[in-house]
């Protein structure tokens, strides 16, 4: 499916970025100031509506999903590196359900589609992408705000930062183009993943930090380039990606809800 192919492409790109960091000098850099969306607790009626949207998407019911989407949809696109500009685009209003879902899904397409000797219905492929994004986003929801989606109740916590600041941090650290990570509370960084390893730094909320290479780091741990230089180990449960996939809801005039925005992260 397109979504899995897109995620695989992003993963491969991420691995390439980490590979580049292996050769980096890991010099001191200024963490990237970022506005991080707050975590929220969804109300029972929002959860019920999200479940209804998910069921319609899982059934690939074009008209039902379309009926629960706002007349105009916001698409927030974030690149995989901190030196990429974040883009916001408005789609709609639409009168045709198939066209609306095709346009939304096209924003989650990574690379070319392989025909394999047969004709491909591009619109159908993109609509399926929309369904897959809705289902996976609601299933893995970590409810929060996105500073780029005003008033939205989102299945993720978004972040807003300056691409210029990201470029400067990447150049200063020697890491180049890499992804950013943030923490929700002051978080210790250890010299290694070994039990009893000394603390070498503390990451603070409100900033993005760069991923670095730390030899022999096991699954569940990640190397983070320290603002003072060098690389330390952080448990992945304490880190959140700055790039996100998901969707946001807004209350409508009738006291219900509508899907109002989608977030995507592409190369």
Percentage of the chain lying above the pLDDT 70 cut: 87
Taking the alpha carbons at both ends of the chain, their separation in whole angstroms is 18
pLDDT at 16 over 70: no
- DSSP three-state, residue 157: coil
> Would you say 46 and 251 are in contact if contact means Cβ atoms under 8 Å apart?
no
pLDDT at 77: 94
User: Is 111 a residue whose pLDDT tops 60?
Assistant: no
Concatenated DSSP letters of 1-51: -HHHHHHHHHHHHHHHHHHHHHTS-----PPEEEEEPPB----HHHHHHHH
The answer, yes or no, to whether residue 240 has pLDDT greater than 70, is: yes
Q: What is the pLDDT of residues 19-70, one digit of tens each?
A: 444 445 689 999 999 999 999 999 999 999 999 999 999 999 999 999 999 9
């Amino acid at each position: 499916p397109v979504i899995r192919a897109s995620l695989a492409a992003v993963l491969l790109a991420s691995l390439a970025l980490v590979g580049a960091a292996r050769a980096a000098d890991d010099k001191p850099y200024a963490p990237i100031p970022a506005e991080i969306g707050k975590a929220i607790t969804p109300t029972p009626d929002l959860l019920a509506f999200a479940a209804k949207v998910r069921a319609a998407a899982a059934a690939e019911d074009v008209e039902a999903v379309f009926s629960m989407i706002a007349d105009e949809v916001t698409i927030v696109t974030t690149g995989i590196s901190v030196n990429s500009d974040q883009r916001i685009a408005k789609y709609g209003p639409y009168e045709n359900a198939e066209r609306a879902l095709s346009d939304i899904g096209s924003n989650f397409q990574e690379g070319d589609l392989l025909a394999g000797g047969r004709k491909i219905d591009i619109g159908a492929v993109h609509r399926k992408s929309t369904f897959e994004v809705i289902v996976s986003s609601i299933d893995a929801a970590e409810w929060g705000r996105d500073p780029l989606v005003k008033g939205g109740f989102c299945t993720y916590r978004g972040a807003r930062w300056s691409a210029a600041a990201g470029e400067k941090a990447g150049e200063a650290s020697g890491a180049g183009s890499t992804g950013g990570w943030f923490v929700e509370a002051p978080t210790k960084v250890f010299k290694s993943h070994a039990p009893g390893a000394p603390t070498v730094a503390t990451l603070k909320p409100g900033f993005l930090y760069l991923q670095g290479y730390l030899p022999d780091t096991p699954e569940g741990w990640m190397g983070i380039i320290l603002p003072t230089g060098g690389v330390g180990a952080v448990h992945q449960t304490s880190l959140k990606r700055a790039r996100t996939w998901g969707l946001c809801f807004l209350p409508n005039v009738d006291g219900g809800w509508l899907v109002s925005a989608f977030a995507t992260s592409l190369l």
